């Protein structure tokens, strides 16, 4: 199933329609000629029965990707059809336009992050015309313009990256069919697919494959009517290969599924589960994090809210035994309390470390020679609460391979069903998405089993240990009379192991060790 992700990357204040401003990037998607049709998802419709006052219709927009995977948007416009006369004016209405990312699970297109929204109030109209509703960021700093991660899994091989443009009518006249989104033929610039999506969070949720009925052509072939809407986008397709400042792992695309431990056969909702996180690293490197983000899906509705739940996150070292990765020492933990949710969304939980001097340092595992130049660690999570809470619709959001950093196609959880804790790797089966390779064999895409984790910080050599001071037997930072007394009290053959006063490790505490202590007399080096 698919759900709306309500995390807002950038909210744009409501504004009036504006003419094209300076500094416009070139058009990347331009709708074709208008048809004689219009569409209003909030009006009673045979396409979407009964209408919904809070529903948004989304047009799929594909731009030429040119190897890039982001679109920096400069101007966005949509066409609203007003059908009015003096006797029966098209009533005033408010139009909300949404720019959103697109996901693809191998079968259906999903609704991703909302990147920008804006609204415009349209006055009553006594004539019939198509009115442009648009927003321009042309005078803004290019670095501050909305940036969309393009969906390239479905059409990337054909040179296209996808996104959604949504329209919703609001206010008292939102369901009046005299106002509608203008339907257009295949665009002159860019590409589209013959379907659109509707999201109705209060009722039926997300549906990705709507069209506007069928038409029988002169060749007697029955085809879907065009379901593209008038959309025009100016912008610049950029290469997203460079990580955002400080990001070492992440920039992930969500799938349409989420997971919680109670869904597994062991049925323990409070059990730790571990996401493998790999970053570019050299031997001996460590991560000093500035922020770690975890994605928690809240499958709530007004009728059945996702219950309030605690989420404990942990940074954990990674071990490699030559065959498999397993968790090591826990470096740091933090508990986050999440309130009840009556909407279906993904909450980003940000674990921040403002001061690098006091941030935890996680040594990265580089022991696997099969992964040269990569260092690994775990971000672990568990849900906290009573059995009813843990059975509620809260769970880790599953994602595709990250754009920044590397990953391992599974995550782990301690499974004690065998009678002793066993660290097991979990996957979620295969996609129903296949292709035939050059040998004629059917290849199945493995369903991703990473959950949403993003990590920012600094990867570099771990801080060296303090200089050795073996003569400081009581570890108080000084070699002094207390240490000398301890050595004299242990004089002779070592009777136990270890034998700290045997500074040269020859098995005997004697004059050689005493000389070493006197040579180190005073404060230990820092």
For the stretch 512-523, pLDDT in tens is 999 989 988 998
Query: Residue 389 is inside which H or E element, if any?
Result: helix 387-390
Strands 147-149 and 70-82: antiparallel
Contact 109, 256 (CB under 8 A): no
465 three-state secondary structure: coil
Helix residue spans in 409-510 (DSSP H): 481-489
> Exposed (0-12), middle (13-18) or buried (19+): which is 11, by Cβ within 10 Å?
exposed
Q: Which among 179, 209, 228, 242 is positioned nearest to 40, based on CA atoms?
A: 179
Beta strands per DSSP E along 123-195? 129-136, 147-149, 160-170, 179-184
Q: In the chain, what are the helix, strand and coil shares in percent, each to the nearest 5?
A: 5, 50, 45
Contact 362, 331 (CB under 8 A): yes
16 three-state secondary structure: coil
3-state secondary structure 213-279: CEEECCCCCEEECCCEECEEEEEEEECCCCCCCCEEEECCCEEEEEECHHHCCCCCCCCCEEEEEEE
| pLDDT given for residue 446 in this prediction | 56
Contact 69, 240 (CB under 8 A): yes
DSSP letters of 86-113? SSSPBPPEEEEEEEEEEEE-SSSEEEEE
- Residue 346 vs residues 294, 299, 389, 399: alpha-carbon distances, Å: 10, 9, 17, 12
Q: What is the dihedral of CA 80, 86, 88, 93, to 10 degrees?
A: 40
Q: At what angle do helices 481-489 and 511-519 cross, to 10 degrees?
A: 170
- Within 10 A of 284 (CB to CB), how many other CB atoms are there? 13
| pLDDT given for residue 432 in this prediction | 44
Is omega for the bond preceding 396 within 30 degrees of 0, making it cis? no
Read off φ and ψ for residue 283, nearest 5 degrees.
Answer: -55, 130
381 three-state secondary structure: strand
Residues of the chain with pLDDT under 50: 1-22, 46-47, 49, 431-433
pLDDT digits (tens, 9 = 90+) for 148-177: 988 877 777 677 889 999 999 988 898 888
Record the pTM: 0.53
| pLDDT given for residue 399 in this prediction | 79
| pLDDT given for residue 22 in this prediction | 46
| pLDDT given for residue 354 in this prediction | 85
- Within 10 A of 159 (CB to CB), how many other CB atoms are there? 14
| pLDDT given for residue 179 in this prediction | 92
Which residues lie below 8 Å from residue 155, measured CB to CB, with a gap of 6+? 62, 161, 162, 191
List, in sequence order, every residue forming a beta bridge with 227; answer none if it has no partner: none
pLDDT digits (tens, 9 = 90+) for 81-110: 999 999 999 999 999 999 999 887 767 788
Contact 300, 372 (CB under 8 A): no
Q: How far apart are CA 337 and CA 183, in angstroms?
A: 45
Contact 309, 392 (CB under 8 A): yes
Which residues lie below 8 Å from residue 265, measured CB to CB, with a gap of 6+? 417
| pLDDT given for residue 6 in this prediction | 28
Long-range CB pairs of 364-369 (<8 Å, 24+ gap) are 364/279, 364/281, 364/285, 364/286, 364/287, 364/318, 364/459, 365/317, 365/318, 365/319, 365/320, 365/325, 365/328, 366/281, 366/282, 366/283, 366/284, 366/285, 367/320, 368/320, 368/325
Q: How far apart are CA 180 and CA 34, in angstroms?
A: 13
3-state secondary structure 27-58: EEEECCCEEEEEECCCCCCCCCCCCCCCCEEE
């Amino acid at each position: 199933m698919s759900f709306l992700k309500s995390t807002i990357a950038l909210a744009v204040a409501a504004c009036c329609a504006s003419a094209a401003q300076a500094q416009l990037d070139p058009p990347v998607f331009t709708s074709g000629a208008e048809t004689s049709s219009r569409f209003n998802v909030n009006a009673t419709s045979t396409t979407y029965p009964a209408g919904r006052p809070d529903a948004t219709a989304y047009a799929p927009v594909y731009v030429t990707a040119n190897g890039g995977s982001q679109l920096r948007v400069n101007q966005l416009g949509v066409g609203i059809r007003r059908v009015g006369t003096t006797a029966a004016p098209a009533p005033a209405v408010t139009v909300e336009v949404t720019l959103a990312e697109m996901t693809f699970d191998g079968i259906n297109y999903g609704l991703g992050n909302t990147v920008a929204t804006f609204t415009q109030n349209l006055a009553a109209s006594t004539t019939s015309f198509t009115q442009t509703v648009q927003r321009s960021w042309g005078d803004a700093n290019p670095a501050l313009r909305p940036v969309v991660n393009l969906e390239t899994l479905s059409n990337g091989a054909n040179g296209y990256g996808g996104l959604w443009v949504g329209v919703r009518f609001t206010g008292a006249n939102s369901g009046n069919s005299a106002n509608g989104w203008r339907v257009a033929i295949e665009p002159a610039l860019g590409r589209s697919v013959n379907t659109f999506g509707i999201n109705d969070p209060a009722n039926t949720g997300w549906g990705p494959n709507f069209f506007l009925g069928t038409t029988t052509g002169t060749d007697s072939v029955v085809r879907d009517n065009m379901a593209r809407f008038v959309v025009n986008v100016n912008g610049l397709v950029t290469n997203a290969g460079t990580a955002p400042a400080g990001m070492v792992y992440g920039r992930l695309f969500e799938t349409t599924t989420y997971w919680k431990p109670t869904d597994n056969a062991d049925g323990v909702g409070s059990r730790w589960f571990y996401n493998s996180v790999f970053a570019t690293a050299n031997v001996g490197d460590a991560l000093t994090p500035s922020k770690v983000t975890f994605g928690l899906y809240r499958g709530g509705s007004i009728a059945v809210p996702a219950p309030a739940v605690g989420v404990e996150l942990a940074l954990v070292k990674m071990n490699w035994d030559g065959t498999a990765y397993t968790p090591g020492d826990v470096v740091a933990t933090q508990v986050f309390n999440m309130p009840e949710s009556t909407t279906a969304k993904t909450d980003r939980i940000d674990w921040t470390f403002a001061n690098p001097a006091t941030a935890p340092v996680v040594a990265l595992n580089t022991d696997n020679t099969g992964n040269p130049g990569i260092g690994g660690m775990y971000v672990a999570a568990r849900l906290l609460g009573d059995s009813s809470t843990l059975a509620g619709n809260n769970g880790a959001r599953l994602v595709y391979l990250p754009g920044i950093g590397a990953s391992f196609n599974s995550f782990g959880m301690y499974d004690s069903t065998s009678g002793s804790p066993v660290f097991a790797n979990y996957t979620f089966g295969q996609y129903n998405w296949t292709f035939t390779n050059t040998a004629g064999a059917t290849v199945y895409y493995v369903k991703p089993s990473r959950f949403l984790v993003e990590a920012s910080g600094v990867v570099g050599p771990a801080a060296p240990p303090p200089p050795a001071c073996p003569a400081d037997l009581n570890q108080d930072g000084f070699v002094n009379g207390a240490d000398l007394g301890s050595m004299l009290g242990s004089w002779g053959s070592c009777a136990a192991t270890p034998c700290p006063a045997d500074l040269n490790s020859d098995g005997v505490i004697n004059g050689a060790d005493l000389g070493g202590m006197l040579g180190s007399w005073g404060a230990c080096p820092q």
